[in-house]
Amino acid sequence: MDIHTPAQGDMTTEVLNLEGFDRRLFDRTPQAILLVDEAGIIVHANLAAEEVFGHESGTLTGRAIESLVPERFRSHHVGLRHQFAEAPSFRMMGSQRDLWGLRQDGKEVPIEVALGPIDWDDRHYVIATVTDISERQRAANELHEANRRLLAMNESQTQREKYLQAVFNGSQSGLVVIDEQGQIVTVNAAALSIFGFTEEELLGQNVDILVPDSIRSGHANLRGSYMRNPVPRMMGTGRDLAGRRKDGTEVFVEVGLREIATPEGRGALASIVDITRRREAEIQTRRYAEQLQDVNQLHEAVLSSTEHLLIATDPDGTVTLFNQASESALGYASTEVVGRQQLDFCFDQAEVTARGRELSEDGTLSSGFEVLTHFPLSEGVETREWTFIRKDGSRFPVQVTMTVIRDGATSIAGYLAVILDISDLYLQRLEVQRVNRELARTNEELARSNRELEQFAYLASHDLQEPLRSIAGPLQLLQRRYEAQLDDSAKTFIEHSVAAADRMQRLIDDLLMYSRAGRHEVPFTPVDINQTLRDVSRSLSATIEESGAEVTWDPLPMVSGNSITLHQLFQNLVGNAVKFRGDSRPKVHVSAVPVDGGKAWEFTVEDNGIGIDPKFFEDIFKVFRRLHSRREYSGTGIGLALCKKIVDMHGGSIWVESESGKGSKFRFKLAASSELKPSGR
Ligand code: ADP
């Protein structure tokens, strides 16, 4: 069927005429209406229908209805039409699904169609009212799209909110939102943990709760001035900012401020970083730096003030340190040496080579630095004397202490040489050697002249005895036999001569005794001093009795010595103690205490006599030195000299402690005898 071929136009007119239908009304109704016969031919279409399908007036009538159906639905439509013919009824066409009409210009138009059967003259017709729903559909589509967009927007809004919430809560920084009055609106987990509050405790509180007491009063003002000029900025820049924790302690913080809109209006977002750790680290670092500074200064001070030359090297011997003392002693500036010289620049190469040979017979140690570090490397440190050579070529003796600087257990960081200029020491040493040599020579001479003197004294006193006897003998005879024939003055002359001869005899005796003492080496034996004192008091019994003296002694030890000379020693001391008595009855006491860990005894011979002026303490031990005239106290002035000689011979020393008029204590040391059995008193 050619749907574009118009059918018999007259018939349509006829039908409508027959029906008496008001054609004008039909044509002018705004509802599009089509009348289709059983064959599917449009028998009438009103203006509105022609408009829907884009046809000019009157051109639709006679066309097949399928010409208004898009090609893809056409065959299906024919079937639908037959179905309708079999069961005609009023209904909507294709309800629940899209219906499309095909316009004259080929465009499709969405439509809604209501169908109804009309019978006339045994012929069946279908009346179709058609509505262009493009407009409605567009609106619906738009609504749908808008809805979709809205939905999408809503979706992304919640996503965003969730995301922001997560960011807010997950932020490492504490975040606190406050409103314009300073009340806390929102707070995140980090802020809670910084300040130690729970969320409930903070929400609705004034933010001043997080401000330390010390600055709280000024805080409201600061907050106000921020809200008046809310430029994003850091708070408290350039000074320590502290927050207050719930427990009252303070926490160092850094706070960034930013204006923010809250649901209740303007507010501020404070982002807070707990910088306590950082502050502590800073403080610690500063402290370290200060300490380091101190150490450095100390180090510098030590390096620059020490008289020692300090030269350090790296493991290869390149100088890393050359202190001021080194500069002035060696004449190099440290810039000439540090990093440029190997350590051996100031050593005498001949000495180093010789030392190398000493250290390795096979000559494996050849390089100077190897020689210098060989010993320290095995022993850790070496102190040796070397000759150093200055920049100007002059030399001086030094003592070098070379230390290995270890870096951990195994690796070597370098070497440190601590150097002492021993020029002075060296000169002193030479001087000491010279003096010692001289001393030895003098000693030898002294000993020789002493020997000669003793020899002379001995010979002289010995030889003098003979002529003295020849003078004294006849004088005594003269005195005895011719006394009656002599006048008084002759008698006096002779008396004086006899007394002088006596005195001379005593001098000669004492001198003999003094020069004899120590002339021959006598072997030491154990001597019991208790026994010595018993013998001495027997020898001195006449003097003791005559003076009424009391001579006592403690239990005394055994000493190692020569019994004869020790007898002379004690006899002289006890004798003097009795002789130099004062007005009261003489009391002499001898005691001994162990000294030198029991190796020796210190003896004291104490008296209550006239005492000795301390200025004569040394003099009295010299030969012929006396403090008194013969008229006051007899004597030759040899006794104490002999005592000193005897104590010297026994390897000890003798001295006196006294004051004029207060008695004297003569003390001396004698070696203890290994035999420790003194006899009874
Ligand atoms: P001398 O007894 O022959 O005078 P010494 O050599 O024994 O000679 O003594 C020297 C001097 O030391 C004595 O002259 C005396 O002045 C003084 N002196 C020695 N022993 C004592 C003493 N126990 N008390 C006071 N003076 C003493």
**DSSP string for 511-578:** HHHHHHTTTS----EEEEHHHHHHHHHHHTHHHHHHHT-EEEE----EEEE-HHHHHHHHHHHHHHHH
Residue 41 has pLDDT above 70, yes or no: yes
669 to 514, 566, 593: CA distances (angstroms): 20, 12, 10
Element (H, E) at 671: strand 664-671
Residue 299 has pLDDT above 80, yes or no: no
Atom of ligand 1 nearest to the CA of 640: 6
pLDDT tens-digit readout, 233-264: 777 665 678 899 999 998 888 888 888 887 77
Looking at per-residue confidence, does 332 or 44 come out higher? 332
Confidence of residue 3 (pLDDT cuts 50, 70, 90): very low
664 to 66, 140, 617: CA distances (angstroms): 167, 144, 11
Residue owning the nearest CA to atom 11 of ligand 1: 626
Single-letter amino acid code for the residue at 140: A
Looking at per-residue confidence, does 647 or 363 come out higher? 647
- How does strand 309-313 pair with strand 411-421? antiparallel
Report d(CA 615, CA 594) in Å as an integer. Answer: 29
List, in sequence order, every residue forming a beta bridge with 130; answer none if it has no partner.
32, 113
Q: What pLDDT is recorded for position 605?
A: 96
Q: What pLDDT is recorded for position 31?
A: 83
Sign of CA dihedral 555, 560, 564, 566: negative
Residue 20 has pLDDT above 90, yes or no: no
pLDDT tens-digit readout, 179-232: 888 899 899 999 999 999 999 999 999 999 999 888 888 888 888 888 888 777
Report d(CA 451, CA 463) in Å as an integer. Answer: 18
* Residue 568 beta carbon below 6 angstroms from any ligand 1 atom: no
pLDDT tens-digit readout, 139-166: 778 888 888 888 887 777 788 788 878 8
pLDDT tens-digit readout, 570-593: 999 999 999 999 889 999 999 999
662 to 527, 591, 607, 665: CA distances (angstroms): 32, 18, 9, 10
What are the structure tokens assigned to 338, written together? 């540090």
Confidence of residue 676 (pLDDT cuts 50, 70, 90): low
Residue owning the nearest CA to atom 12 of ligand 1: 620
Atom of ligand 1 nearest to the CA of 621: 6
Residue owning the nearest CA to atom 23 of ligand 1: 577
Instruction: Find the mean pLDDT for residues 527-552.
Output: 92
Report d(CA 535, CA 193) in Å as an integer. Answer: 104
* Residue 61 beta carbon below 6 angstroms from any ligand 1 atom: no
Q: What pLDDT is recorded for position 337?
A: 92
Element (H, E) at 472: helix 423-481
* Residue 576 beta carbon below 6 angstroms from any ligand 1 atom: yes
Residue owning the nearest CA to atom 16 of ligand 1: 627
Burial 329-348 (b: 16+ CB within 10 A, else e): bbebeeebbbeebebbbbbe
For 331, residues 6+ apart whose C-beta sits below 8 A from its C-beta are 390, 391, 392
Residue owning the nearest CA to atom 21 of ligand 1: 576
Cα of 580 vs centre of ligand 1, distance in Å, is: 7
Looking at per-residue confidence, does 360 or 96 come out higher? 360
Query: Would you give the end-to-end CA distance of the chain in angstroms?
Result: 179
Report d(CA 214, CA 239) in Å as an integer. Answer: 15
User: In this predicted structure, which of 472-486, 537-551, 626-640 has the lowest mean pLDDT?
Assistant: 626-640
List, in sequence order, every residue forming a beta bridge with 325; answer none if it has no partner.
none
Cα of 530 vs centre of ligand 1, distance in Å, is: 24
% residues pLDDT > 90 (the chain): 25
* Residue 46 beta carbon below 6 angstroms from any ligand 1 atom: no
**DSSP string for 35-98:** EEETTSBEEEE-HHHHHHHTPPTT-STTSBGGGGS-HHHHHHHHHHHHHHHHS---EEETTTS-
Cα of 602 vs centre of ligand 1, distance in Å, is: 21
- How does strand 600-607 pair with strand 664-671? antiparallel
Report d(CA 586, CA 607) in Å as an integer. Answer: 7
Confidence of residue 104 (pLDDT cuts 50, 70, 90): very high
Q: What pLDDT is recorded for position 326?
A: 93
Instruction: Find the mean pLDDT for residues 80-86.
Output: 87
Residue 454 has pLDDT above 70, yes or no: yes
* Residue 40 beta carbon below 6 angstroms from any ligand 1 atom: no
